[in-house]
Amino acid sequence: MVGLATYTADERFQAVHMNRSEDWMLQIKRTQPTDAGDYECQINIHPLIFYFVRLTVPAWSPRCYVFWYHNDRMINYDTAKGGPGNISGGKRGQDVYVSSLFIRNARPQDTGNYTCGPSNADSTSVIVHVLNGEKRAAMQHDLSPSGALLRVTLDSSLVLCAVLTTLGATSRIASF
């Protein structure tokens, strides 16, 4: 960055001049671990003045939002209005977020494609078949490239759970 001009292909970097002051600031948006390192500030007077700053980017996990879909239709979080499912979520461990979809009184019309769509990882889908009668199993078709697994035994409820590793940005579906 020279004067008011910024010379970088990365639009996350910007020189910011503080209003009514002589202060300048290097702003880096959406920092990444690869941004860590030494930065040099030069003040173009004679003799040149150099300031060095070492940037450390702490490991962090972005907030994770999980959206559940049944046959491409978003499942409403508000079950008080008669929705079929109850969605819960919470952090398990340092880098793992778990979201569960619990369907009360599972019926054949609950059969279909279920998708877990986290905000910070790839979506994972599975086709669930809800069967009537004495059979206590369901067929499954894995649609995800990450190798999701779903095993369902039905009494009167169906539980889908997504375990999301936030730093690795991987996801999988499993049942309890």
Chain segment 157-173, per-residue pLDDT in tens:
445 555 544 333 333 33
Cα–Cα distance between 127 and 55 in angstroms, integer? Answer: 46
- Is position 137 within any domain? yes
The answer on 51 and 73 residing in a single domain is: no
Angle subtended at Cα 139 by Cα 65 and Cα 106, rounded to the nearest 5 degrees: 60
* Cβ atoms of 115 and 69 closer than 8 Å: yes
* More confident position, 71 or 123: 71
Predicted TM-score (pTM) of this structure: 0.45
Looking at the structure, tell me whether residues 35 and 97 fall in a common domain.
no
Which range marks the domain in which residue 111 is found? 66-174
45 plus 96 within the same structural domain: no
In-domain check, residue 124: yes
The pLDDT confidence band at residue 140, using thresholds 50, 70 and 90, is very low
Residue 138 has pLDDT above 50, yes or no: no
Q: Are residues 109 and 33 in the same domain?
A: no
Residue 3: inside a domain: no
Same domain, 116 and 140: yes
* 19 assigned to some structural domain: yes
Question: Domain for residue 5, yes or no?
Answer: no
Average pLDDT over residues 130-145: 52
Q: Are residues 50 and 130 in the same domain?
A: no
Same domain, 48 and 87: no
159 & 72 share domain: yes
pLDDT digits (tens, 9 = 90+) for 111-131: 889 888 887 677 888 888 887
Whether 44 and 129 map to the same domain: the answer is no
Does residue 119 sit in the same domain as residue 33? no
Does any domain span residue 78? yes
CA distance 116 to 136: 24
How many Cβ atoms from other residues are within 10 Å of residue 165's Cβ?
A: 17
Most confident of 7-21, 94-108, 142-156: 7-21
Do 163 and 85 lie in one domain? The reply is: yes
Domain count, the chain: 2
Asked whether residue 118 falls in the same domain as residue 163, the answer is yes
Distances (CA, A) of 95 to 43, 59, 130, 148: 42, 10, 33, 19
DSSP lists the bridge partners of residue 74 as: 69
Three-state DSSP string of 34-68: HHCEEEEEEECCCCCEEEEEEECCCCCCCCCCEEE
